[in-house]
Amino acid sequence: MAAITFSDAQFKTIGDIMYEAVGLSYSDSKKSLIQSRLAPRIQRLGLEGFADYIAILQDETQASEFQMAVDLLTTNETYFFREPKHYELLEAELSARKSKEPLSIWSAASSFGDEAYSTAMLLSDMQISGKIGPEWSILGTDISHRVLLSAKEGVYPQDRLRDVSADRLRRYCLRGEGESEGQSMVHEKIRSRVQFGQLNLCKPFEGLGPFDVVFLRNVLIYFDAPTKRDVVDRVLQTLKPGGLFFLGTAEGRAQCDTPLITVQPGAFRKVA
């Protein structure tokens, strides 16, 4: 099948649409990436080319297809207990708390839920051992409706659980059999502790928090510098003074106006 042509003007139009709607920012070097991600979708829909697809993206009645485009243009690679030193720090910090007051944690770019459920497993263990009280909750948000539906189901290829200890797998996961062989489902007692909701971090939001801990890992790579700063400051407004804030280790220091103290690579404390 012949390749679908993708002009510079069409690339700019799609870039403008995605930036305005969800804050995604693409340099000129990303043109081939966008073409490779969207061309198969255009062919599957039976469209003539990118011009027809752009018309769909600009049609407010085609929200589901716009969401599909967002899914195709973002990478949702993740796995359980990614960057384990962050979880070690979280456990140490929560164990050192003198009170057993309720805990509230936000996974602000939760993708398929691996991060949120990893945190829930840790907190469940800490509750059982008496290090924290019984009142704790986790919120996971993402812009993608598709990944949120998957997160709520809590079913994962077993490779995504490769860093979960054998003991936690036994207590918190159900191994699939028959047609579900090779997959595992997070147990209801963990899934019930995590609520998921759709949220665009690039737009103003209200009613969230205050949180004791916020994860914002491996999502800022999609934004330009001004959007990164706006997103980080907006998210940090929901974090309690003294609370922990996590970025991906490779993302460096958070560029923001909110005062932060570096605790370790990718981990920060909001100044009281």
Answer for the pair 237, 129: CB distance below 8 angstroms, yes or no.
no
Residue 218 assigned as binding residue: yes
Q: Is 76 one of the annotated binding-site residues?
A: yes
- Residues annotated as catalytic are 37, 142
Which tokens in the block code for residue 76?
A: 């949702």
Nearest partner of 212 among 132, 148, 110, 143, judged by Cα: 132
HSE-up of 193 (CA within 13 Å, CB side)?
Answer: 26
In the DSSP assignment, the letter for residue 183 is: E
Task: Establish whether 148 is an annotated binding residue.
Answer: no
Determine the residue type at 84: P
Question: Contact 16/8 with Cβ under 8 angstroms?
Answer: no
Q: Distance between CA atoms of 103 and 135, rounded to whole angstroms?
A: 6
Annotated ligand binding at 45? The verdict is: no
Residues 6+ away with beta carbon under 8 Å from 236:
214, 245, 256, 258, 260, 270
Strand 155-157 and strand 183-186: pairing?
Answer: antiparallel
Query: 71: annotated binding-site residue?
Result: no
Q: Is 200 part of any known ligand binding site?
A: yes
Outline where the chain has alpha helix (H): 8-22, 31-44, 50-57, 63-73, 84-95, 114-128, 145-153, 166-172, 188-191, 225-236
188 assigned to a ligand binding site = no
Task: Output the known binding site.
Answer: 76, 78, 82, 115, 142, 200-201, 217-218
Task: Output the known binding site for S-adenosyl-L-methionine.
Answer: 76, 78, 82, 115, 142, 200-201, 217-218
